[in-house]
Amino acid sequence: MLSAVLCAIILLFFEQLRKSMRRIIHLTLIILFSTISMSAFASADVEIKKIASGVWVHTSYYTYPNGVKFPSSGLIVQDGEGVVLVDTAWGELATLELMEQIRTKIKLPIKTSIVTHAHGDRIAGTDALKSKGIPVYSHPLTQKFATEYGLPVPDQSLESIISPGSMVSLGKIDVIYPGPGHAMDNLMIWLPQEKILFGGCAVRAKGATSLGNTAHSDIGSWLQGMKHISQEYNSAQIVVPGHGELGDFSLISNTLMLLSESAQ
């Protein structure tokens, strides 16, 4: 009789232990999966990095079919109680994620935006901005090319910067048209207070050894435009390229060297 009771107690004990173990395993799995999905959301391939007071670089990535990730950068500039967004992220979903990060991390509304030429890495998120009533400025040619390439079309064009070497102020930022270069419509951004030059794809990254994608380039005009930029903006403290690491004025010198070699 006693052994039967003991046996029942032991069986009950193991049954409870089994149930507890199952609960623990279940809970562990829930925690594990929620951590994985949270980190996937946090790394939605968009990053914001502060480079000066009221100035941030945003970086998003394009993943090629072979798995290689290629970065693309734009600028976020505080102007009063809002920000100006220079270039969208590389993709519409990435731009939505960028807008969310600006809302939660910078905590200022996007008042206006500008795209620096009609290629996907600059312009892909245009419709995401327009859907929120944010004006998207560009060179007049960008509207034309975006239409031709089947890309979303900016709704505002800066008619006063049609000729090479021209400049217009948009709030606290200066928008420069150096003339045809990486693309016929490529623009650059100058922040006079911070002495920051955003060169977009017309300025190559630190240590670059090639001119990148030159499918829509005019090398001769690009070289002339860069000579003008190197003279006018030689006080630049920080130079931000469209792809890769930012640096100092040496990025402009290096791009000039690559252009001179290529123009020969």
Residues in the chain, total = 264
Shortest Cβ contact with Zn ion: which residue? 119
| Catalytically annotated residue among 117, 139, 216, 243 | 117
CB of 84 vs Zn ion, minimal distance in Å: 20
Determine if 201 is a binding residue for Zn ion (CB under 5 A). Answer: yes
Quickly list DSSP for 106-125: I---EEEEE--SSSHHHHTT
Residue 58 is among the residues annotated as catalytic for this protein: no
Binding range to Zn ion, per CB under 5 A, among 78-86, 118-126, 136-144, 228-236: 118-126
Determine if 151 is a binding residue for Zn ion (CB under 5 A). Answer: no
Which run of H or of E encompasses 250? helix 250-263
| Catalytically annotated residue among 58, 139, 182, 216 | 182
Determine if 119 is a binding residue for Zn ion (CB under 5 A). Answer: yes
Based on CB atoms, which residue is closest to Zn ion, 201 or 256? Answer: 201
CB of 87 vs Zn ion, minimal distance in Å: 10
Instruction: Extract the tokens encoding 33.
Output: 């999966």
Instruction: Extract the tokens encoding 170.
Output: 């948009």
**CB neighbour list of residue 10: distance below 8 Å, 6 or more residues apart:** none
**CB neighbour list of residue 258: distance below 8 Å, 6 or more residues apart:** 204, 208, 209, 210, 211
Residue 182 is among the residues annotated as catalytic for this protein: yes
Residue 185 is among the residues annotated as catalytic for this protein: no
CB of 249 vs Zn ion, minimal distance in Å: 22
Handedness of CA 187, 190, 191, 197 (dihedral sign): positive
Residue 26 is among the residues annotated as catalytic for this protein: no
CB of 254 vs Zn ion, minimal distance in Å: 18
| Catalytically annotated residue among 58, 119, 139, 243 | 119
Binding range to Zn ion, per CB under 5 A, among 31-39, 41-49, 59-67, 200-208: 200-208
| Catalytically annotated residue among 121, 139, 243, 254 | 121
Determine if 139 is a binding residue for Zn ion (CB under 5 A). Answer: no
**CB neighbour list of residue 179: distance below 8 Å, 6 or more residues apart:** 164, 165, 221, 222, 224, 225, 228
Give the residue from 92, 95, 115 showing the smallest Cα distance to 103. 95
Residues in touch with Zn ion (CB under 5 A): 119, 201
Active site amino acids: 117, 119, 121, 182, 213
